[in-house]
Amino acid sequence: MLGADTEVVLDGRLLGKPRDGADAARMLRELRGREHEVITGLALVELGPPGSTPRQETTAVTSRVRMAEYSDADIETYVATGEPLDKAGGYAVQGLGGRLVAAVDGCLTNVIGLPLTTTRALLERYGLL
């Protein structure tokens, strides 16, 4: 079994997923023009036959994201799409929210939610690829 979860961290605080549109807009205002971290934790567990000890491994990948200097109108327009409501930090770099991102330092697929290079290496170590 493979599990992953992604968090946005600004000034040491987890932003998580917004509760509603107003919360998403608040997060996006906080992020505007600033840099933050996106951290995805991965866990792989191989149960094996009954009675055996499960193999497990965990890791985390961190990327840095710099947001653009977008306007309040840009935030309102984006929040109205509904896209940010189920995204950590209130944006999706792979969607319409990509317009709000100025730069990514590190793994882009990590910011999307699953760091593919790290995931592939983990699966290869377990002989699953």
- Active-site positions read 5
Encoding tokens for residue 16? 């998580």
Q: b vs e for 85-122, b when ≥16 Cβ sit within 10 Å of the residue's Cβ?
A: eebbbbbbbeeebeebbeebeebbbbbbbebeebbeeb
104, 89 contact by CB (below 8 A): no
Q: How far, in whole angstroms, is CA 118 from its chain's centroid?
A: 14
